[in-house]
Amino acid sequence: MENILQTILSRKSDQKKQFAVLIDPDNYKPSELIFLATMATKCNVDYFFIGGSLLTADNLNEAVIILKEHCSIPVVIFPGNTIQICAKADGILFLSVISGRNPEMLIGKHVIAAPILKKSKLEVIATGYMLIESGKSTTALYMSNTNPIPAEKPEIAVCTAIAGEMLGMQLIYLEAGSGAERAVPENMISKVRENISIPLIVGGGIATTDQARKTFAAGADLIVIGNAIENNVNFIEEIAHLIQSEFNSPIV
């Protein structure tokens, strides 16, 4: 399989917008995952992200295996903690919560995970993960034991993202939190986009095509959608149509 980071970079340099479906394995039955894999393949979904800030059902491995058996879309672990490592996936976002000041989420968990990841064949992608205030507390915030960046302070987000890039992060991820009341503000996305050259991922609370359109238009290279697809799998088709008709259609 092609290197995941290289794929993200080359699609970005071709000015193609990208779309990841976030799977919380607690919330999908095997039959639903099989259907999702088929639907996502039909709609050219770029990546599956899988994981969560807190998983309770212990079925991450099973979910990865089902996805790998039923489609060729890259499966990328989006870990909430060090027990969410599955060697059968294709890659892992090695998340450092650079918006916070909790050393465990900046480097502590990474030290524990590093030898396991080194033995695996997983592609490890260093990701500067930034939690953005979004109206109410989210599981990600609670579990990371960090303060989010205030939504009305884009300059803090910009400086944090620049520092992340300077520290060698390969991706920056602006996160409003799963099921966020308010998605990441467009002016924050655009200001961060102007100030970094690495790919920019944005997720949390994207529940309408209009919100997805605004997020892409503001400068997100890749959007992540979880809840809205759990609630209505056909939303995948709407996002695929948006990307194809408004962003990735060939210039004639």
One residue of 228, 236, 239, 243 binding ligand 1GP per CB under 6 A: 228
Note whether 179 binds ligand 1GP by CB under 6 A: yes
Which single residue is written with the structure tokens 């100030």?
195
- List, as one string, the DSSP characters of 176-223: --TT-SS---HHHHHHHHHH--S-EEEESS--SHHHHHHHHHHT-SEE
Q: Which is nearer to ligand 1GP, 57 or 119 (CB)?
A: 57
Query: CA 35, CA 203: separation in Å to the nearest integer?
Result: 23
CB of 51: closest distance to ligand 1GP in angstroms? Answer: 9
One residue of 8, 175, 188, 240 binding ligand 1GP per CB under 6 A: 175
Note whether 25 binds ligand 1GP by CB under 6 A: no
Query: CA 96, CA 104: separation in Å to the nearest integer?
Result: 9
Query: CA 212, CA 21: separation in Å to the nearest integer?
Result: 13
Q: Which is nearer to ligand 1GP, 127 or 170 (CB)?
A: 127
One residue of 22, 71, 73, 243 binding ligand 1GP per CB under 6 A: 22
Q: Which residue is nearest to ligand 1GP (CB)?
A: 203
Residue 229 CA: distances (Å) to CA of 27, 33, 88, 180, 236: 11, 12, 24, 14, 7
Give me the 187-206 binding string for ligand 1GP, x by CB under 6 A, dash otherwise: ----------------xxxx
Give me the 79-118 binding string for ligand 1GP, x by CB under 6 A, dash otherwise: ----------------------------------------
Residue 252 CA: distances (Å) to CA of 122, 158, 217, 248, 249: 39, 35, 20, 12, 9
Binding site for ligand 1GP (CB under 6 A): 22, 175, 178-180, 203-206, 224-228
